[in-house]
Chains A and B, each alone.
Chain A
Amino acid sequence: MKIGIIISLFLLAFIAVPLISLFGASDLLSSQKSTIAEMWNSTYFRRVVFFSIWQAFLSTVLSISVAILVARAFTRLPRFPFRHLILSLFGLPLVVPAVVAVLGIVSVYGKQGWLPLGENLYGLTGILIAHCFFNIPLAVRLLIPTWDTVPEQHWRLASQLQFSSWQQWKHIEWPALRENIPSIALLIFMLCLTSFAVVLTLGGGPRSTTLEVAIYQSLRFDFEPTQAVILALLQLVICLTVALLATRFSKLPDVEPNLNSHQNINQVQQSLGDKITQPLFIIFATVFVVSPLLAMFIDAINGPMLEVLTDGKIWKATAFSLFIGLVAASLSLFIAWFLLNASAEASIKNKPILSQSMLLSGSIIFVVPPLVIGTGLFILLSNYVNVFDWAIGIVILINGLMGLPFIIRTLGPAIRQHKMQYNKLSTSLGFNAWERFKHIDFPLLRKPIGLSAALVATIAIGDLGVIALFGSPETTTLPLLLYQRLASYQIPQAAVTAAFLLAISLCLFWLLEKVIGGKHAEH
């Protein structure tokens, strides 16, 4: 348990030190009050704050509303053709790098796209489409298991009592959903509030800038650390408020939810309207999710594939990206393993507060945007070293720690269960730590370990947050290279790069999940 406490303290320090450095740099407590007042009175600042919250709110409402309709359709049509495949595709946005999705969205909805949306996609429209692309499938996957929480007797009663579709919704489905919706909505709100790559690439200018992007611009282009600090602190306050709200709802969404259908829903009455609209909802959502990826691949096939793939830059960036992804995943798993084991042990020894505190220390990084930590580290380290020389190390560290909340959700429950079942037996057999890991822990836990590694590595490989702050021509990753090509309007080259990045991400996910997770690993 001691090692768990040490890791918890390290994690807290890793968040606290950059924040203290931010406070120090901002000089908020003494002379810079005029700066704050000046910023507060500036139209730009107010617009940034308002827009950050407004776009996150709209994205959340849109994503959740559509997701409810689609999830309901999925649960009512358990034999819909390719249901399993479609739901697997809905897991893709979790591992598709944001900047890749943006390119696909531009290919579909841009001026030259398949379905042009007016004159200008850039701005709020583009941001909302991209956020819906990521969050509708996520919300659908998180909402579907809610239908399974309805006792089968209620469906049977509904069929005996001749409930109409509306009455089923009112008396059975909504009461179950309303328990889960707040936590899912807050998760999506937080993801949209801290969304960086989407806003950076689709924002289209100061009118559509969020706090996250404004922090980046303050540091990278305006060289205004004080402004960055104030923005970062404001972002932190908003995130903490959302996180505090989220603690009111005990039900946390699962990273890998159970998507099997509830057979008994089939027996309840379905109106003609339901029978017509439900397949349409599924088809619409599938087209919405698949079309950007398809468009991007078509653009890549028609693009200068040979030119891009024979360029040394892409291979150097690939090597950097793979290195970052794999090391970040290893680091994340290593830390999570000790933390989760210590937390489970504390729980078994009836120390629930200690157990929960350890989990909290691993999850708290979720509410502190990586760019805020990055900014703090940037300011702290720039006093002593050339920050850009340390870029890879910092990016790995931040990405690794950003993966912890995911691992806590995927691996945490399995470790706890495993510990409760086998702890006494393993201890009584006198295994040492390595023997125990090799013969007991790993074989029984390899599936969630594989999923955790795959998730963290893929998210790290596609990250354009911290690397955008610390990256240099010598340390360019694939997402950064893609962003540079997009920013310089090399769209055909960007399409090939995006397809390549997506292919690498998916291969890595599949490989890690299969190799570590073993033959029983499933998506």
Chain B
Amino acid sequence: MLSIKQLEFSFPKSKSVANKNDANFNTLFNVDVNAGEILSVIGPSGSGKTTLLNLIAGFIQPSAGQILIDNNDISGLAIAKRPVTSVFQENNLFPHLDVFTNIAIGIEPSLKLNESQKQQIFAALENVELTNLEKRLPKALSGGQRQRVALARALVRKHSVLLLDEPLAALGPAMREEIIDLLKQLVEAEKMHALLISHQPEDALKASTRTAFINQGKVLKIDNTKRLLKHSDLTEIKNYLGEA
């Protein structure tokens, strides 16, 4: 299990390095994610969603709290030592490298691969349904295909935490559904702990059994997605959904 306990972060007084969209307030997060689960994270712009992911990945340092994976605290580890893979909204792929190399670089940055590693990449490509596209450059792929390549890289890295920072934002409705189905399948099969940030409540409904609502740097509620979105009494959630 991935457990975020009392994780605090204070924004610097000047420009925030965490996320330029985040407001200047202190955050305090408490979240648990089970193996094989995608926990959706929703909330207004600037509420601290990306800050939570940046803290887990190590891009910014918490002032207090713990990030536990199966009871091992990773909050003191360097970025590269954390068992974490991030998938961003865009720029996940290096534009000058083909699909195969973009995935390979996730296993071995020197690109000196053995036969078994190559097989892993082909298997991952098959998993994300991109067989035969390994020689293509990112510019020759659709938005959805690029995100699939990023997911294939996450697969070959075999890290237990998958952080998805609005990976669906640039995709059309049909493509979103396809990627969500793929995500669910991969996360369950690999027993990953995934956090998915999305601005669309429908994505949370489709992707996650549980959803966390964040506001002003705090997790206000974690609940069954349907219950949280359809039957919540919290004014903040109603405001967010435009129901207040």
Interface string of A146-186 (1 = CB under 8 A from B): 00000111101101111110010001100100000000000
Is the contact region of chain B dominated by helix, strand, or loop, or is it mixed?
loop
Whether A270 sits at the interface, judged by CB under 8 Å, is no
Q: Do residues B57 and A156 form an inter-chain contact, with CB atoms below 8 A?
A: yes
Nearest CB of chain A from residue B28's CB, rounded to whole Å: 24
User: A-contacting residues of B (Cβ < 8 Å)?
Assistant: 17, 57-59, 79-80, 82, 84-86, 88, 90-92, 94-97, 105-106, 109-110
Bound-complex Cα distance A162 to B86 (A): 14
Q: What A residues does B110 contact at CB under 8 A?
A: 164, 167
Q: Do residues A263 and B109 form an inter-chain contact, with CB atoms below 8 A?
A: no
User: B-contacting residues of A (Cβ < 8 Å)?
Assistant: 151-154, 156-157, 159-164, 167, 171-172, 175, 263-264, 267, 269
Q: Do residues B105 and A161 form an inter-chain contact, with CB atoms below 8 A?
A: yes
Q: Do residues A153 and B92 form an inter-chain contact, with CB atoms below 8 A?
A: yes
Bound-complex Cα distance A269 to B96 (A): 21
Nearest CB of chain A from residue B69's CB, rounded to whole Å: 15
Task: Output the residue of B79, B82, B97 with the most chain A CB within 10 A.
Answer: B79
If the complex has contacts A167-B110, A171-B105, A263-B17, are A159 and B80 also in contact, measured as CB distance less than 8 A? yes
If the complex has contacts A153-B91, A161-B106, A175-B96, are A267 and B86 also in contact, measured as CB distance less than 8 A? no
Q: What B residues does A264 contact at CB under 8 A?
A: 59
Q: Do residues B84 and A160 form an inter-chain contact, with CB atoms below 8 A?
A: yes
Q: Do residues A154 and B94 form an inter-chain contact, with CB atoms below 8 A?
A: yes
Closest 10 CB pairs of A and B: A151-B91, A153-B91, A162-B80, A159-B79, A153-B88, A175-B96, A167-B109, A163-B109, A263-B17, A161-B109
* Apart from A156-B79, A156-B86, 15 more pairs, CB < 8 Å: A153-B86, A153-B88, A153-B92, A156-B57, A157-B92, A160-B82, A161-B106, A161-B109, A162-B80, A162-B109, A167-B110, A171-B94, A171-B96, A171-B109, A267-B79
Is the contact region of chain A dominated by helix, strand, or loop, or is it mixed?
helix
If the complex has contacts A153-B91, A172-B94, A269-B80, are A160 and B57 also in contact, measured as CB distance less than 8 A? yes
Q: What B residues does A171 contact at CB under 8 A?
A: 94, 96-97, 105, 109
Q: What B residues does A160 contact at CB under 8 A?
A: 57, 79-80, 82, 84-86
Q: Do residues B80 and A154 form an inter-chain contact, with CB atoms below 8 A?
A: no
Q: What B residues does A161 contact at CB under 8 A?
A: 80, 105-106, 109
Nearest CB of chain B from residue A267's CB, rounded to whole Å: 6
Nearest CB of chain B from residue A486's CB, rounded to whole Å: 49
Q: What A residues does B59 contact at CB under 8 A?
A: 156, 159, 264, 267
Q: Do residues A175 and B94 form an inter-chain contact, with CB atoms below 8 A?
A: yes
Residue of B whose beta carbon sits closest to that of A161: B109
Bound-complex Cα distance A476 to B94 (A): 57
Nearest CB of chain B from residue A273's CB, rounded to whole Å: 17
Nearest CB of chain A from residue B167's CB, rounded to whole Å: 11
Nearest CB of chain B from residue A45's CB, rounded to whole Å: 44
Bound-complex Cα distance A401 to B80 (A): 55
Q: Do residues A164 and B109 form an inter-chain contact, with CB atoms below 8 A?
A: yes
Residue of A whose beta carbon sits closest to that of B15: A263
Bound-complex Cα distance A164 to B58 (A): 18
Q: What A residues does B95 contact at CB under 8 A?
A: 175
Q: What A residues does B97 contact at CB under 8 A?
A: 171
If the complex has contacts A161-B106, A162-B109, A263-B17, are A151 and B90 also in contact, measured as CB distance less than 8 A? yes
Nearest CB of chain B from residue A431's CB, rounded to whole Å: 36
Nearest CB of chain A from residue B153's CB, rounded to whole Å: 9
Bound-complex Cα distance A172 to B58 (A): 20
Q: Do residues A157 and B79 form an inter-chain contact, with CB atoms below 8 A?
A: no
Q: What A residues does B109 contact at CB under 8 A?
A: 161-164, 167, 171
Nearest CB of chain A from residue B185's CB, rounded to whole Å: 23
Q: What A residues does B82 contact at CB under 8 A?
A: 160
23 contacts between A and B (CB under 8 A): A151-B90, A151-B91, A153-B86, A153-B90, A154-B91, A156-B86, A157-B86, A160-B82, A161-B80, A161-B106, A161-B109, A162-B80, A162-B109, A164-B109, A164-B110, A167-B109, A171-B94, A171-B105, A172-B94, A264-B59, A267-B59, A267-B79, A269-B80
Q: What B residues does A269 contact at CB under 8 A?
A: 80
Q: What B residues does A157 contact at CB under 8 A?
A: 86, 92
Nearest CB of chain B from residue A43's CB, rounded to whole Å: 47
Bound-complex Cα distance A123 to B147 (A): 58
Residue of B whose beta carbon sits closest to that of A260: B15
Nearest CB of chain A from residue B41's CB, rounded to whole Å: 18
Bound-complex Cα distance A172 to B92 (A): 12
Bound-complex Cα distance A154 to B102 (A): 12
Q: What B residues does A163 contact at CB under 8 A?
A: 109
Bound-complex Cα distance A152 to B91 (A): 8
Q: What B residues does A167 contact at CB under 8 A?
A: 109-110
Bound-complex Cα distance A151 to B82 (A): 22
